[in-house]
Amino acid sequence: MTKPTDRVGHVYDRIRKMAETFEFKPESQINEVALAKKFKTSRTPVREALNRLVAEGFLTFQARRGFFCRPLSPAQILALYETRIAIETEAVRLALEKADDEQLGGLVESLRALEPEYDSCDDAGRLLELDEHFHEEITRLSKNPELVRILENLNGRIRFVRLIDLKNRSLDASTELGDGDIQTHKRILSLIAARDAEGAASAMRRHIQRRREETTEAVAKAFAEIFYVDD
């Protein structure tokens, strides 16, 4: 028999995926009754999942109106990137402050082992997974679970925009999908291996900043993908 907590978790996972991928159109109202029917459950687990997703920033709530999908705008994505910069630069510094040589060496070795796949990858979804893994593993070495939690949340909220951007870049025959990023990753790892905290933090900032500057175009591509499906 499925436990109530398991049911809520299952419904949460399904709705979060829908919110991440903008299956709910930006700023559209969410029909709780329809979701309950879709998942063959009562409205209670649906409501609990929706409230959790509001707290996490994937949805919004308006009194007397209900739940809505979060907006999608350059300003909103820009704010998320700015938060990423703050989180990840501090995470690098903390990792180099707290990790011993064995832990640091293990991180560098494990991430460098993925470089060949990253360098040759031509699948946008897998490339995004590898990139998120790179950044999250460095943040985990900060030994601050709150920084990890925040970064995972940020990644979920910008994942759709990043994926659409990567897919569009893959259509450009003159562009290698992972070109540039892999070189920056190698540079960051070299600075981490050398225990250069300020250098690693600065390189991380520049790396994320470069993607931040492409926000307006990336959001426009995401909007085109969301609404093209209905045409």
Q: Cα–Cα distance between 43 and 15 in angstroms, integer?
A: 13
Quick one: pLDDT band at residue 186, thresholds 50, 70, 90?
A: very high
Q: Cα–Cα distance between 218 and 44 in angstroms, integer?
A: 36
Spatial contact of 225 and 72, defined as CB atoms under 8 Å apart: no
- pLDDT tens-place string over residues 56-96: 999 999 999 999 999 999 999 999 999 999 999 999 999 99
Q: Of 77, 102, 94, which Cα lies nearest the Cα of 214? A: 77
Q: Of 63, 46, 64, which Cα lies nearest the Cα of 8? A: 46
Does the reported pTM lie above 0.75?
yes
Q: Cα–Cα distance between 200 and 204 in angstroms, integer?
A: 6
- pLDDT tens-place string over residues 103-139: 999 999 999 999 999 888 889 999 999 999 999 999 9
Residue 170 CB contacts under 8 Å (≥ 6 apart), including other chains: 122, 124, 177
* Inter-CA distances, 193 with 115, 169, 196, Å: 16, 31, 8
At residue 67, φ and ψ (nearest 5 deg) are -95, 145
pLDDT given for residue 210 in this prediction? 86
* Inter-CA distances, 132 with 136, 141, 185, 193, 204, Å: 6, 14, 12, 20, 13
Backbone Cα Rg of the chain: 19
- pLDDT tens-place string over residues 130-171: 999 999 999 999 999 999 999 999 999 999 999 998 888 776
Q: Which helix (H) or strand (E) holds 212?
A: helix 197-212
**Four-CA torsion 119, 124, 127, 133, nearest 10 degrees:** 170
> Would you give the DSSP letter of residue 69?
E
